Amino acid sequence: MLHRPIHHSRPTLGALLLLAAIPATAQQQVSDAELERKFTQSVRPVLTRYCLGCHSGNSPAAQFDLRPYTTLQSVLADHSRWHLAAEKMAAKEMPPKQVPQPPDASRQLIIDWIETVRANEARKNAGDPGVVLARRLSNSEYNYTIRDLTGVDIRPTREFPVDPANPAGFDNSGESLSMSPALLQ
């Protein structure tokens, strides 16, 4: 029997590039208390000064009202919109050119804070896929299964209710393939 030396795995180039793309502050584990403090003392005042004028009121720009975001938990509940806000700020699309612009350091402070929050949450929830919905076969999957089992293409789903459309464009996701009473009958 040949014995091979054990090689310790080294990070791949892709992993190193991914780490390099994350700001240094996002690579470090930061406590929620520290993120909350930074939001209250640094991020929120910049948002209030440069962003709240357009992103508040009865019809906030992009339907993104910043007034309800007063704590870290409120930001975490809507992290996808905050990620989009960071992208818009990094591309200097926000605030619009015709309104006063935050200093580059303030802009970067917000972007780094959002990325740090995202990285922190990713670390805390690593390995957790979130809610995994049970799903049924779509009508076409059911037809193919019956055909494969019997060898006859009888297409029984012609009598079934039409599968609902999924906003993501997939026809076999658990979110859209629920079991309606009409389908159960």
Q: Note the pLDDT tens digit of each residue in 153-181.
A: 999 999 888 888 777 777 677 777 777 78
Give per-residue pLDDT as tens, 73-93: 999 999 889 999 999 999 999
How does DSSP assign 49-98, residue by residue?
HHTTTTS-SSS-GGG---TT--SHHHHHTTHHHHHHHHHHHHTT-SS-TT
The answer to whether residue 49 is domain-embedded is yes
What rounded mean pLDDT belongs to the chain? 83
| Same-domain status, 153 and 103 | no
pLDDT at residue number 95 = 92
- Do 97 and 149 belong together in one domain? no
Same domain, 119 and 160: no
pLDDT at 161: 86
> Which of 21-30, 65-74, 82-91 shows the lowest mean pLDDT across its residues?
21-30
Same domain flag for 119 and 63: yes
Domain that holds residue 145: 139-184
Residues 87 and 38 reside in one and the same domain: yes
- Which tokens sit at 79? 């992290």
pLDDT grade for 28, boundaries at 50, 70 and 90: low
24 pLDDT exceeds 90? no
Same domain, 120 and 53: yes
Q: Are residues 146 and 101 in the same domain?
A: no
- Same domain flag for 29 and 112: yes
Cis-peptide into 161, omega within 30 deg: no
Beta carbons within 8 Å of 46's beta carbon, 6+ residues apart: 102, 106, 109, 110
Is residue 153 in some structural domain? Answer: yes
Q: Provide, rounded to the nearest whole percent, the portion of the chain with pLDDT above 90.
A: 56
- Same domain? For 119 and 144 the reply is no
d(CA 78, CA 117): 12
Residue 9 pLDDT = 42
Residue 95 lies in a domain: yes
> For residue 129, is it within any domain?
no
pLDDT for 5? 42
The least confident of 14-18, 26-30, 180-184 is: 14-18
Q: Is residue 18 part of a domain?
A: no
Domain count, the chain: 2
Whether the CA torsion 100, 106, 108, 112 is positive or negative: it is: negative
pLDDT surpasses 50 at 2: no
User: Residue for token digits 């309800």?
Assistant: 68
Query: 106 and 57 in one domain?
Result: yes
**pLDDT (mean) for 139-166:** 91
